[in-house]
Homo-oligomer: A and B are copies of this chain.
Amino acid sequence: MKTSAGTSRRLGTRGQPEESRAAILKAAVAEFAEHGIAGARTDAIAQAAHVNKALLYYYFKDKDALYEAVLDQVFSGLRARVVPVLESKLPPRQKMLEYLGAYFDYIAANPRFPRVVQAEWMQSGTKGSAHMRRVAQEYFRPIFEKLADVLREGMEAGEFRAVNAMDFVPSVVGVIIFYFSAAPLMKTLMKVDPLSVERIRERRAFVLDFISAALFV
């Protein structure tokens, strides 16, 4: 139900186009996460989505555009969860905790997302790729700046230790994200499943405590 009022467009459609598109996107997230941008195979995506490969190119311009759509889905979801918290009127300490929790929960609910992002980090070495810059501008900059505000506020209130946002923010992201992208490796190293429900609950508590201890006075 997405035909909005106004000019009724003539839809001589069969099947559910939205379903196909969504299936493709979902399969693409998995494939890109698992093999990276260069390693992802369009045939594999089509097969996983139970769809002919040409349909990928019917809905998306090319592999790159499909990857871009994947990035948008991942980051718009993150933004939707996290920005409301940062724009709320909580005191800095609690706002930070809420932010950390929201971020963690989003990643925990979608453990393959970090890998999609890592694939993007990878994309081009020293200089940033084309849509890395776009993603940075559209998603990261606003979040980063709001987060820097919270830090400033907390430091002025004497509740936070003195930290540089340029140091603090990537550290937090690293702590949250790295655990999940390293999970397969950890699985081979320990007996415990790093992604079991209890483990994730423990991990969440640890992350909040760890960063609290590092940031709060």
Chain A residues with CB under 8 Å of chain B are 30, 33-39, 112, 115, 118-119, 121-122, 124-128, 132-133, 136-137, 140-141, 144, 161, 163-164, 166-168, 170-171, 173-179, 181-182, 184-190, 192, 194, 202-203, 206-207, 210-211, 213-215
A24 to B138, CA, bound (A): 39
- Chain B residues, Cβ within 8 Å of A207: 167, 171
Given contacts A167-B206, A178-B173, A210-B167, contact A184 B124 (CB under 8 A): yes
Chain B residue nearest to A161 (CB atoms) is B213
Given contacts A118-B118, A167-B206, A206-B167, contact A125 B34 (CB under 8 A): yes
Q: Determine how close the nearest CB of chain B comes to the CB of A205; give it in whole angstroms.
A: 9
A206 to B128, Cβ gap below 8 A? no
B184 to A175, Cβ gap below 8 A? no
- Among candidates B128, B166, B177, B194, residue contacting A178 with C-beta atoms closer than 8 Å: B177
Q: Which interface residue of A128, A137, A192 has the most chain B CB atoms within 10 A?
A: A128
A121 to B164, CA, bound (A): 29
A-B contact pairs, 8 of them (CB 8 A): A112-B125, A115-B125, A140-B189, A166-B194, A170-B182, A171-B175, A178-B178, A214-B214
- Chain B residues, Cβ within 8 Å of A119: 36, 122
Q: Determine how close the nearest CB of chain B comes to the CB of A143; give it in whole angstroms.
A: 11
Q: Determine how close the nearest CB of chain B comes to the CB of A125; give it in whole angstroms.
A: 4
A128 to B187, Cβ gap below 8 A? yes
A39 to B120, CA, bound (A): 12
B38 to A163, Cβ gap below 8 A? no
- Chain B residues, Cβ within 8 Å of A112: 125
- Chain B residues, Cβ within 8 Å of A210: 163, 167-168, 171, 214
